[in-house]
Structure 1
Amino acid sequence: MERSFMSIRRFTWFSPLAGLLLMAGVSACTLATAGSDHAPLPDPAVDAAPAQGDQVAVLAGGCFWGLQSVFEHVKGVKKVSAGYSGGAANTAEYDRVSDGDTGHAESVKIVYDPSKVSYGQLLKVYFSVATDPTQLNRQGPDVGTQYRSVIFYGNDDQKRVATAYIAQLGAAHAFAAPIVTQVVPLKGFYVAESYHQDYARRHPDEPYIVFNDAPKVAHLKQQFPALYQPDRDVVSVMLH
């Protein structure tokens, strides 16, 4: 029941253009992400200082199903959780967040080993294949502030890297339109309901996943072969 309900919720937000793309067998995410149709993005000129132990990055930009699926396939990433950031704890549940008035964005919490992948590299993946940073309060077929593009920084170093990289991409005219990604302090991350965790992996044949999320992972493998890892090498959060 949950799976059917979720599919209906997602597809009711498809625009007429997205519907035409689906019928034509073309993914909205394929057209949206920079790396699929443009030259590869540059490496960040500014990156985080070396750190000991696992680090955390929290990012938002569209449905968290796709974001989780992408970052679960990045080497050095140890755990990815789908959840909500930007709003209050008492509104951090799917039905409330879907109203678009809670301040939350569908987000992912990424626990990673900085000796294997840097914060700057995660941002390069994010901007290249995980989201379209030029879409305001939407991502492909999903519309609303809960789908906005946000980097939730956990410390001054992450803020420095994020703002510098956005400025670098802007100066390089890496995208045809201005980047609207927000860079805001992380005030809290609230893990989403269990049926959202690993959704793309558990439902690979659902049309929404096939057309919107699977191509992102394919682009990751194509553009970042040195960073790509298969499913078996990652551990993800499941709630019980």
Structure 2
Amino acid sequence: MRKPIMAAALALAAAGGLAGWQVLPSFAREGIAIPPPALDVPAGEGIETAVLAGGCFWGVQGVFQHVKGVTGAVSGYAGGAAETARYRVVGSGRTGHAEAVAVSFDPAEISYGEILQVYFSVAHDPTQLDRQGPDVGTQYRSTIFPQDAEQARVAAAYIAQLDAAGVYGAPIATTIEPGRPFYRAEDYHQDYMTLNPTAPYIVYNDLPKVENLERLFPEVWRADPVLVSEAEASY
């Protein structure tokens, strides 16, 4: 997100436009520097995909759209059946789905482990169980949906590594759910942060994540987001 847009959006908060919004914990507002994974997926050829859930997909998608090496980030649902992969149904919290993002990336530029490092550091708070900030329910759970056994092994090892290091001061609540298909969300959810930078929810909950990405990961930061319309075929 370009700096002038972000500055204007954050001015909304300063002007009192976010009165009544629930205060997020400091971790979710500030991000946290964490070590890279000791175990990673070997670099392969061609575009690969990571499917991650960490609360409302608007923010998770928005973060990864600003990561170098990411060729696409698409909002959707994972964890449930195809027939229930619809926003109004998923919102019941009874479908098994989580709001998720399919992150397509070039392993020659960024590894799966580095994707997970961003996910655990700035994209969401992995210590919250079945919620993220003001959003409550299993559909907002922290979950990794590995696309193969190697991704599952690396994700499990990284969670164990971070827990052992005690970097959060609380246990990681992230689950690993293999073998779950990803279903694309409705068009109006795609590129939501980019299209609605002054929406109060985005200003308060999600723009800080993008700022934290630039601050904590300058080596992978990209100012202009990769949009769904530019990358739909890559996931």
- Please confirm whether the aligned pair reaches a TM-score higher than 0.5, indicating the same fold: yes
**Is the partner of 1:83 in helix, strand or coil?**
strand
Is 2:220 aligned against 1:227?
Answer: yes
Question: Which position in structure 2 is the counterpart of 1:108?
Answer: 101
What RMSD in Å do the two structures reach over aligned CA positions?
A: 2.0
Is residue 105–residue 148 contact of structure 1 (8 Å, CA) maintained in 2? yes
Instruction: For 1:108 and 1:189, locate their aligned partners in 2 and report how far apart those are by CA, in whole Å.
Output: 8
Name 1:6's counterpart in structure 2: none
| Contact 2:31/2:209 (8 A) holds in 1 | no
For 1:177, which of 143, 146, 170 is the aligned residue? Answer: 170
1:121 aligns with 2:114: yes
Counterpart contact for 1:80–1:237, Cα < 8 Å = no
Tell me the secondary structure at the aligned position of residue 179 of structure 1.
coil
- Name the SS of the counterpart of 2:177 in structure 1: strand
Partner amino acid, structure 1, of 2:192? Y
1:206, 1:83 → 2: CA distance? Answer: 20
CA distance in 1, matches of 2:131, 2:78: 16
Aligned mate of 1:72, from 65, 70, 93: 65
Q: CA deviation at 1:198?
A: 0.5
Q: Verify the 8 A CA contact 1:33 1:128 in the aligned structure 2.
A: no
Give 1:176 deviation, angstroms: 1.1
Identity %: 53
Tell me, yes or no, if the aligned pair for 2:191 and 2:227 is still in contact at 8 Å: no
Shift in alpha-carbon separation, 1:228–1:37, aligned structure 2, 3 A: closer
* Partner residue, 1:31: 26
- Say yes or no: does 1:196 pair with 2:189: yes
Question: Which consecutive unaligned segments of at least 5 residues does structure 2 have?
Answer: 1-17
Check the 8 A contact 2:31/2:121 in 1, yes or no. Answer: no
- Secondary structure of 1:126's match? helix
SS at match of 2:228: coil
Counterpart Cα distance in 1 of 2:80 and 2:153: 23
Amino acid at match of 1:60: A
Counterpart in the other structure of 1:11: none
Structure 1, unpaired ranges of 5+: 1-21
Does 1:57 find its partner at 2:50? yes
Matched, 1:214 2:210: no
Amino acid at match of 1:215: P
| Residue of structure 2 in register with 1:89 after alignment | 82
1:141-198 CA deviation, whole Å, 9 max, x = no partner? 0000000000000111101110010010011001111001001103211100000001
Give the total of aligned pairs.
215
Cα 1:192/1:163, change in 2 over 3 Å = same
Q: State the match for 1:44 in structure 2.
A: 37
